[in-house]
Amino acid sequence: MKSSTGPAAALILASLMAACGPAHSHSATAVSASGATPSAATTPEATTPETPSTVAEGSSTTAPAEGPVPTMGSSTLLTKLPSRIGYGQVRPAAIDLLGNGDPQTRVSGIVWQGWGGSQAIGSGTGWRLGQRQIVADRVIVVAFDLGTCRGQYVYDALEWYFPQIGGTFDPQQFEDVCVGAPYPPSDGGYEDDGPAGAPNYFLNLSGAPAALSGSVGFRSQDGRYTTPFTFSGTAQLDGSLTIKSNAPGHTGGTYTGEWEDLNLVIDNCGAFLNLDASGPRVSCRFAHIEGS
């Protein structure tokens, strides 16, 4: 479902698996936003919810007999986007990952099986691009990756797909419902969004979440571009980010921050990004450069 585009500015330092549902544009079966206006959709035939055969092998969908009951992601995300639906709920009957009016980010009438197990499987009605129009169809929803997010016991990951058009479960692509963004963060370039006149820094990122690599670049006012250092790092499902600088400079420095969709924050970036202590300060916030 990830159809967000970065403002023309910065590079995410994290590559968390991207979602494989209608709410993720990086999903193999997801439908990217087409601008089509939903018309009278064909209501899918009523079907009995079933556990898809494509669920990861060896995974149990049976709820434990006792213990804490997980929610779908964190309800704290609603403070920024209150129109989202399902976050912080147990067995949500409806989900809207973005709350922006795009029907392809919504699922309704969900009936769950195995909530509380390593994977919970739901069957409901979603929207996808059909023959020149957006149509309603049966969709399988998978909640997985149990963990803690902002103090809540949650399913960190959510994916959905349409089995009748060949969609299958892919645990490498999903919506991170702790952070509220497709996982992993996008490869490419990111630019510091500091004030006018501030040093112009860039981050270039690639790799898997557990093995990120990239470089920090600096463009001076006379247009010269230099690379202060390259780096390696990791990005976690809880939105945390860690990078360690390599050659040519700042070798061995460790910098922490967080990522969210097409934006990246490095808390202590001033330690290596502010070349002139008397000049404008770098914001330490980076945004993905569109098209990179």
CB 284 within 8 A of CB 264: no
Q: What are phi and psi of 244, to 5 degrees?
A: -125, 125
pLDDT in tens, 157-212: 999 999 999 999 998 889 999 888 888 877 888 888 766 666 678 888 898 888 99
Q: Quick one: pLDDT at residue 127? A: 95
Q: What are phi and psi of 141, to 5 degrees?
A: -115, 135
CB 169 within 8 A of CB 159: yes
Q: Quick one: pLDDT at residue 55? A: 47
Structure confidence at residue 237 as a pLDDT band (50, 70, 90): confident
Give residue 241's Cα distance to chain centre: 14
Q: Is 151 left (phi over 0), alpha (psi -120 to 50) or beta?
A: left
Asked if the model's pLDDT at residue 86 lies above 90, the reply is yes
pLDDT in tens, 117-172: 999 999 999 999 888 899 999 999 999 999 998 889 999 999 999 999 999 999 88
* Residue recorded with tokens 């969609």: 167
Calculate the alpha carbon distances from 175 to 68, 72, 133, 194 in Å: 23, 11, 24, 29
Alpha carbon distance 254, 232 (integer Å): 10
Structure confidence at residue 229 as a pLDDT band (50, 70, 90): confident
pLDDT in tens, 254-290: 888 888 766 788 877 776 665 555 555 667 788 888 7
Alpha carbon distance 62, 48 (integer Å): 18
C-beta atoms surrounding 168 within 10 Å: 15
The DSSP H or E segment spanning 139 is: strand 134-149
C-beta atoms surrounding 275 within 10 Å: 12
Mean pLDDT, the chain, integer: 74
Q: What are phi and psi of 80, to 5 degrees?
A: -95, -35
Alpha carbon distance 189, 290 (integer Å): 8
CATH architecture of the domain with residue range 188-288: Beta Barrel (2.40)
- Minimum mean pLDDT among 54-58, 112-116, 196-200, 260-264: which range? 54-58
Is residue 292 packed enough to be buried (19+ CB in 10 Å), middle (13-18) or exposed (0-12)?
middle
Q: Quick one: pLDDT at residue 261? A: 62
Taking the domains of the chain in order of start, what are their residue ranges?
22-172, 188-288
Asked if the model's pLDDT at residue 97 lies above 80, the reply is yes
